[in-house]
Structure 1
Amino acid sequence: MLRNHDAEKAVLGCVLAGRATLDDCGLLAAEDFDHPMHRDVWAAVLRVHAARKPIDGLAVAEALHAAGKLAAIGTGVMDLEESCPILAHAASYAEMVRQAAMARRLDAMLTDAARANRAGTPPAEVALAASAKLAQLSSAVRERRRTFRDAMEVTLERFHDIRAGGYEHYIPTGIDVWDELLGGMERGKLELLCAYPSVGKGAVAGRILLNLAQASRKASLFSLEDPEIWLPKRYLAAASGVPVRRLMEAQRLSVHDENNIEHAVMQSREWGENLLIDDRSGLTAEQIGVAARQDVVQHGAQVIVVDNASEIDIASGDDRHDVRTANAVRVLRNVAKDLNVPVLLLMHLKKSGNTTKEPRFIRPNTELLKNSGAFAEAARKIVALWLDEDDKDSIIGTVLKQTEGEKDIDFAMPFHASAGLVRSKGGRKRQGDTGYSEDARGAA
């Protein structure tokens, strides 16, 4: 049923007569009402509630008058107030309103998709756009309100499953020092891995992805910046001992090197299906969100990695860049939350301020978070990478943010330079890095 005006009328009557609260109605939005008058009256109800005033016919009428809507509605508010059903089951009527609104949105989505298809839009684009809208609709179907007692029961079940070995709240990266200090990657959270160019985001993210795949954990990589072969090249270099650059040159390799490469290729066939790679450029956050949901639901991906934030297409939509960015962040955060997977987002740091020192050799500080906008605000963990001129065989990670754990700590990961990957073993927590450089500012 696309419309249920009787249910809309019943909800309004219950609330205006004081026989139901907004909580009983489950936070209905004005857009959930199809009848124009009902929509305007409910919008007025919400404004009265926001002003922390008692909800009754007089207060709602005053709100309608202030919005210039009362003249058109006339005695409609009084009629609605008197229309409260004898059996005032507001929650049931509200659910009918919600279901009808969902049906209208689904109908509009299918209509838009059919219209775009008939207009000659490539079918793949139509399907992707429709999938994004369908994912938004499906996420809204979930029950809206739960009690603390409900949440406690879920928590206790998680505790039991964790201790029984059936659930992992933190998914290990396989990088020993990272997992020791940070626990791994937390399910349901958006995490940032940021650095200046040529410091090692790919070296760290690549190692994490390979470790996950080799440990029989499925992961999904959205490689917006580089073609799909960047990670296989680095794997082959690390596994065979042949530097990445030499792998890609025409110079003939020794029999020993060729055998090592062949052996590495054969080994990768045992776990290669565990790593999903999408290297399409210019994807929007919504398109990434749809594909990520498919990877998790259909293919069992446990971790999502996006490389990187600056390559996400946010050109369309609202004119304000900050609003478009905030929407992209919200989409990625919701993927993590709704699917209970960690989403690791790679991000460039942007140099600003006057300094003669190369930014990649400057220890990042918390000032970077002030200019990194919605990404840093939404992330629950932020690790910034940098290089130390006195420790050239390592990539240094600084924990700038961690909502459940220690922060302002540094750790070193051994760097396999010829392969472009950090090593899983041999990392260490650094001692004595307690001061912050005043030269580093800004993030993009």
Structure 2
Amino acid sequence: MSIAEKAFLGTLMKAEYLLKDSVIAPEQLESTRHKEIMRRMLEYTRAGKNIDLITLTTVPDLDSLGGMSYLSELYSYADLERFDGMEKIILDLWKEREKRNILTLAAMNDWEIAKVIGELEKINQLKMDDHTSLQQALLAIYEAPWEEPMTQSSVTTGIKKLDEVTGGFQNGEVTILAARPSMGKTDVMLHFAKISGWAGYLPLVFSLEMPQKLLTSRLMASTGSFNRKKMRDPKRMLNENQKNIWSDVIGALHETHMQIFDGSGQTVAEMRAKTRKMIHQFPHKKPIIFIDYLTLIHSSQTSGGNSHHQVTEISKSLKTLAKDFDCPVICLAQLNRSVEYREDKRPMMSDIRESGSVEQDADVILFLFREKYYVKESENHSLEIIVSKNRNGPVGIIAVDYNEKTGRICDDKAYNHPFV
């Protein structure tokens, strides 16, 4: 029996919410026993019952499903992070079986070529949720010339001029935020994450380098305007005014519902599984995904050590992630050293480390530049956000105030919140 089917059913027992999302129908499983187990799962779910291992052992004819031992075996195959891959394997195997069945029927019944091709095409076009008839699409825009335009589904960046240029973070789009080390990437990402949380989104931060504890400290420092050095010993180093607002800062950050995943070497598939889980924990919130950073994402394929191929695969996976969940994905990226050898230190597309297809796949590419990073005696404390690529709008440079001691990004109240 297919191991993919065992792992698929075992994972459904472990994470019941996946059953509602799954594109697999019982009829697409190969094993008769597996078909029946999935049918029982669907019946139980419709009846409002759980489909965990313990509940399934109460079915009346347990022996016909293989008994407790077989259900336990299925559960042992559960693998939440590879669930999407299992679905693909099961669908691919089902398609192959269906094709063979069609060719057998065609030979037995002497079908015309056109009919054979038509039946095969139906299988190949299986993707269940990507169909829109032109009639539906036209109906949706029928009243457009007489209606007020609907506000586009996007989330503010918290930086007014950046919103004007990019329209904010758009659902289904990938934004790359790239800079040299210590330029302020993580602070800008955390600013975007806080703002999106306060705006009602669900910020999911995948921090592949910085531990949760340090990220939390940075969030407290930037939100409360606390010097980062003081965060090492708040009791001794914070003044009374800062201590008095400490709980207010915690309350404000609590409102964001930000979720932090700080495991190193995560794959996009693992991020997908965790995102799916969070969507079911917060069903009324749209996720927005932040990843720090690109070349630390672990490739799920063997690329023979070719980092260029790995980044290309990861870049395409991020775009698929954004489209499948219809949410914004913001991924940080490092720049190579070539920028250091130029007179003008402002980054360019070619400076993205192991760029692969990043330039092509990303919808928006932002670079960060601070003059003070290179000229220590400079009085210019601004941080330039360089919009180098913008698939749906103009490019340009936006300057914001940046306090490198606290990590705070200041703007002219693009988003109305007491701690912005």
Aligned to 2:81: none
Classify 1:416/1:281 alpha carbon distance in 2 versus 1 (closer, same or farther; 3 Å): same
Q: 1:295 to 1:375 in 2, by over 3 A?
A: farther
Task: Report the 3-state secondary structure (helix = DSSP H, G, I; strand = E; otherwise coil) of the residue aligned with 2:341.
Answer: coil
2:403 aligned with 1:419, yes or no? no
Structure 1 residues 176-195: aligned runs within 5 Å? 176-195=160-179
Partner of 1:392: 380
The 8 Å contact of residues 228 and 278 in structure 1, kept in 2 or not, is answered as yes
CA distance in 1, matches of 2:245, 2:210: 26
Aligned position for 1:218: 202
8 Å Cα contact 1:413/1:426 also seen in 2: no
- Give 1:227 deviation, angstroms: 1.1
* 8 Å Cα contact 2:349/2:359 also seen in 1: no
Counterpart-to-counterpart distance in 1, 2:275 and 2:216:
21
Matched with 1:142 is 128
Q: State the partner residue of 1:122.
A: none
Is the CA contact (8 Å cut-off) linking 1:228 and 1:279 kept in structure 2?
A: yes
Query: SS at 2:279's partner residue?
Result: helix
Partner of 1:406: 394
Contact 2:370 2:381 survives alignment (8 Å): no
Q: Give the structure 2 partner of residue 233 of structure 1.
A: 217
CA drift at 1:241: 3.5
- In structure 1, stretches of 5+ residues that fail to align are 5-27, 43-75, 100-139, 428-444
Give yes or no for the alignment of 1:32 onto 2:59: no
**1:196 match:** 180
Segments of 5+ residues of structure 2 without an aligned counterpart are 1-26, 32-90, 373-377, 415-420
Give, in whole Å, the separation in 2 of the partners of 1:242 and 1:87. 72
Change (3 A) 1:317 1:84: same
Normalised by the length of structure 2, the TM-score is 0.64
Q: Secondary structure at the match of 1:345?
A: strand
Q: What is the RMSD of the two structures over their aligned residues, measured on CA atoms?
A: 3.9
* Residue in structure 2 matched with residue 311 of structure 1 by the alignment: 296
State the aligned residue count.
319
Contact kept, 8 Å, 2:339 with 2:346, in 1: the verdict is no
Superposition TM-score, scaled by structure 1 size: 0.61
| Alignment correspondent of 1:205 | 189
Q: Which residue of 2 aligns with 1:50?
A: none
Is the CA contact 1:293–1:335 (under 8 Å) kept in the aligned structure 2? no
CA distance in 2, matches of 1:158, 1:370: 44
CA distance in 1 between counterparts of 2:203 and 2:238 reads 32
What CA distance in whole angstroms lies between the structure 2 residues aligned with 1:189 and 1:413?
Answer: 24
Where does residue 322 of structure 2 map in the other structure?
A: 336
Partner of residue 311, structure 2: 325
Change (3 A) 1:143 1:94: farther
Matches within 5 A, 1:6-405: 32-34=95-97, 38=100, 80=107, 83-84=110-111, 88=115, 95=122, 141-154=127-140, 163=149, 168-249=152-233, 251-269=236-254, 271-272=255-256, 274-299=257-282, 300-314=285-299, 316-319=301-304, 320-352=306-338, 355=341, 362-368=345-351, 372-389=355-372, 392-405=380-393
Q: Sort the Cα spacing of 1:400 and 1:30 in 2 relative to 1 into closer, same or farther, 3 A.
A: same
Greater Rg by CA: 1
- Measure, in 1, the Cα distance between the counterparts of 2:247 and 2:30: 63
Secondary structure at 1:197 match in 2: coil
Q: Distance in 1 between matches of 2:115 and 2:398?
A: 61
